[in-house]
Structures are given as C-alpha cells and as structure tokens.
Amino acid sequence: MEIRPVIPQVQARPVRTIVAAAVLWLVAVPVLAAGDGKPAPMPSPLSGTELLSMSMNLLLVIGAILLFGWIYSRSQGLRAARNGHFRVLAAQPLGAKEKVVLLQVGEQQVVVGISPGGMNTLLVPEKPVVPLAPASGDDERSFTARLRAAVASTTREGS
C-alpha cells in the first residue's frame, strides 16, 4: 500500500486572465464613476488648478531632494574624518588608482599606501616629516597661479 501526502492541488490561473482582469478594471472604473455611462471629461492641463497642482508637486519633489541632501551632508559618516584627529599632509598618486599619503594622526605621522584592495601602513617615521612647500620656480607653480598669469597676460595684450 502506497502512502501519499494529502496536499491540496491549487490551480494556477494563467497570467493572461489576470492581466485581462486588471485592464478591464482600469477601463471600467472611470466609465462607472461617470454614472451615466459616459467617461468623465478631462480637465484642461493648462487650467489654473492643474498648474497649481503641478507646481506644488514640483516644489515638493525639489524640497525632498534638498532635505535628503542636507541630511546626507550632516550625517556623521561623512564628517568622521574631519573631526581634527586626522589630517592629510601630502599625497602622491602612483597610478590610476594607487597613491601614497602622509597622514597626521594626533602628534604622530603615518605614511599609508592606498589601493583598490585597501590601505597598508608603509612607514611610521620616528621624527615628524615636514612636507615640502612647492618651489617658487615656473615649473613648480600651481595650475591656478599659471592660469591667472596666462589670463592676465592675454588681457594686457588685448588692450
């Protein structure tokens, strides 16, 4: 004698039947809401109430975006490195995704290698390293200083 578990058989409705019922409902509700079998008239999209409604919805969405941006900027995770305990003294890119960074942690300095795989301590100097200030030669000037000089010389030549 064979023992079979008693599991009720549930017939699955075809997807087409469910989709057809949903479409019929979406079409029938506005028709039945009119009451006399005629569809309700659509308001003009340029009417005052429609424009006011659209403007209020737009302001609501813009307000929500600004609120979430403010909350994000005030979050503690974003400001954790700016609490005064860590300072980046110097950074030197080694490639597209790798760089070496000199960090000031309290009174101690640490040289760290940063790559997509993580961060590694490369060196903990015994005495503090003083980062070199850029030399005042033309090759070592910052891009901003060179751009200002180029704009100034162009404006002098043009007048």
Residue 109: count other Cβ atoms within 10 Å of its Cβ.
21
The pLDDT, as a whole number, for residue 84 is: 65
pLDDT along the chain (159 residues), means of 10: 56 67 74 61 78 92 92 66 72 89 87 92 85 56 78 72
CA distance 94 to 99: 5
54 and 37 both lie in a single domain = no
The pLDDT, as a whole number, for residue 76 is: 58
Residue 138 inside a domain? The answer is no
35 and 51 both lie in a single domain = no
The pLDDT, as a whole number, for residue 86 is: 78
117 and 100 both lie in a single domain = yes
The pLDDT, as a whole number, for residue 71 is: 84
Residue 149 inside a domain? The answer is no
pTM here? 0.36
Residue 130 inside a domain? The answer is no
Residue 62 inside a domain? The answer is yes
Contact 100, 91 (CB under 8 A): yes
Domain region containing 109? 85-123
Q: Which two tokens stand for residue 54?
A: 């659209």
49 and 65 both lie in a single domain = yes
Residue 151 inside a domain? The answer is no
**What domain count does the chain have?**
3
The pLDDT, as a whole number, for residue 72 is: 81
Residue 4 inside a domain? The answer is no
Residue 128 inside a domain? The answer is no
Residue 136 inside a domain? The answer is no
Residue 102: count other Cβ atoms within 10 Å of its Cβ.
20
The pLDDT, as a whole number, for residue 154 is: 76
CA distance 33 to 150: 71
